[in-house]
Structure 1
């Protein structure tokens, strides 16, 4: 979320990371190794559990094919590097294995994941030349594995919590959707805000002080970017299994917004101080979004008795 007021001319504002390069790399590697390992182990355990129930349902193989095609497509369009796309395929499979007998696209977060990809892909390419002139554009090779895990890792870990039809399964799915909604909102808000720098609604201020800051500044927010992020989060929730249940959907949307605000606050504080890098900040924000949605929906669950 960032733009510079009055930046109508091409300005070279090549972003300098406040986190030292060695620490930045170590933190990203730690996140990739730890969460990536857990995601792969989770996929293996869930697959083994399904096999223990009986022969794999044909939908299991369909889920495998879909996840491979999804990863391949993400790589082909250069939305992510090859390792990042492969990790995206693992997370996709984790989402699809929520069901005991294979997968059920209408009862999982897979549609929300697809919409996340569409929205973030479009937002990243929106105003690309403008963002390149400011030095804040995403690399043309796409996002790396640590970025994918930072944004989607929490959702993948929560996707298949508990057995279908149980309260914990419903809460896990709600938390998963909230994490996806927050990740979408964060990326869309940043990309749209940067693309609209210098416009009436593109001025960027630091969330903690209200002071004007250059585009790409950690913790910077703009009206245009914030509005776009909120709309993106709402769309992700609207295509989830909770779309037609107002109370749970509101809990998930609230969690996503809490995570979005938390992301900016962390960016303006611990990231600007060089304590945490962007990947850890993004991962922490998705976790907070998931925790808020889980807690809020847990309070609501006895009232709504909605179990998916």
Structure 2
């Protein structure tokens, strides 16, 4: 009871003003729109393969790997059943990039696996401390809307032969990793938390609040995603720098949205996360065009 009351007081102090109804409605619309687009996109690619003469062998193991990924996420309680299925669809969208002549390692799959491992560890890091603060993720895992908020943009950009879209996909994954690692580990490591727009000190967990430790850990998470992708698959150094920069910029943009539109009750956390990954993807796309 004591920790719940403390969590209630903390949520009141952090300035969350969006109504439960608006937050739920935004999450449901995001789930329906982005989830539907991902399913349609995957089906359209598979149909196009059939019309071009049949299904290549890699498609079958990609479907199996995506189903195994979804099952693993669910068994580890990283996501609910519905969210795990969405994760499998996103995984398949990423692996469908093999249709452009790449190996699985040259898709964004290494980045997705890095994201999963890093966010899994970060979410469980100092869990008891986060539970006392009322900030811990539910033990049954993330909801479908949360998965789509963080990975939906990457899934939409995945599968194309264009290096620009590949960079956009990777930047979205780097930003999602940075955001989760920053918030989950920053809450435990501590240090002064400052509101990005005013630089005034605020409680840990405040929307738009950043700390040196949290931001540094988030940037390190984005860097690991880039390094793993470069080591395992295909990622030119110039593209890696663009992706890393876009991922960190997206992390700061997420905090800016948290300090403004989220604190004012206009957008819920799911839409803020989606917009931040989209910002990182767009920034990487533009950056690659300028190279």
**Corresponding residue for 1:20?**
19
Partners of 1:221 and 1:243 in 2: CA distance: 33
**Corresponding residue for 2:138?**
139
Partners of 1:291 and 1:244 in 2: CA distance: 18
**Corresponding residue for 2:273?**
282
SS in 1 for 2:69: helix
Would the aligned equivalents of 1:136 and 1:215 in 2 still touch at CA under 8 Å?
A: no
> What stretches of structure 2 of length at least 5 have no aligned partner?
none
Would the aligned equivalents of 1:60 and 1:102 in 2 still touch at CA under 8 Å?
A: no
Would the aligned equivalents of 2:125 and 2:185 in 1 still touch at CA under 8 Å?
A: yes
Map Cα deviations across residues 137-191 of structure 1 (whole Å, 9 max, x no partner): 0110100000000000000000023xx3xxxx11111100000000000000000
**Corresponding residue for 1:228?**
217
Partners of 1:218 and 1:286 in 2: CA distance: 17
**Corresponding residue for 1:194?**
187
**Corresponding residue for 1:255?**
246
Partners of 1:98 and 1:158 in 2: CA distance: 10
Given the superposition, is the C-alpha separation of residues 227 and 298 from structure 1 closer, same or farther in structure 2, using an over 3 Å criterion?
A: same
Partners of 2:192 and 2:203 in 1: CA distance: 9
Partners of 2:106 and 2:116 in 1: CA distance: 19
Select 2:255's aligned residue among 261, 264, 284.
264
Question: Displacement, 1:104?
Answer: 2.0
**Corresponding residue for 2:55?**
56
Q: What is the TM-score of this pair, normalised by structure 2?
A: 0.93
Q: What is the TM-score of this pair, normalised by structure 1?
A: 0.88
1:106 maps to 2:105: yes
Question: Displacement, 1:135?
Answer: 0.5
**Corresponding residue for 1:211?**
200
Partners of 1:73 and 1:104 in 2: CA distance: 23
**Corresponding residue for 1:273?**
264
Would the aligned equivalents of 1:97 and 1:103 in 2 still touch at CA under 8 Å?
A: no
> What stretches of structure 1 of length at least 5 have no aligned partner?
1-8, 301-308
Alignment of 1:29-68 (within 5 A): 29-68=28-67
Partners of 2:234 and 2:243 in 1: CA distance: 10
Given the superposition, is the C-alpha separation of residues 18 and 220 from structure 1 closer, same or farther in structure 2, using an over 3 Å criterion?
A: same
Question: Displacement, 1:103?
Answer: 6.3
**Corresponding residue for 2:166?**
173
Map Cα deviations across residues 247-284 of structure 1 (whole Å, 9 max, x no partner): 11111111111111110000000000000000000000
**Corresponding residue for 1:240?**
229
Map Cα deviations across residues 32-79 of structure 1 (whole Å, 9 max, x no partner): 000000000001001111222222111100000000000000000000
Would the aligned equivalents of 2:168 and 2:280 in 1 still touch at CA under 8 Å?
A: yes
Q: How many residues align?
A: 282
Partners of 2:217 and 2:39 in 1: CA distance: 33
Question: Displacement, 1:99?
Answer: 2.2
**Corresponding residue for 2:282?**
291
Would the aligned equivalents of 1:11 and 1:134 in 2 still touch at CA under 8 Å?
A: no
Partners of 2:159 and 2:57 in 1: CA distance: 19
Partners of 1:94 and 1:177 in 2: CA distance: 13
Q: Which has the higher helix share?
A: 2
Runs of 4+ in structure 1 displaced over 4 angstroms?
241-244
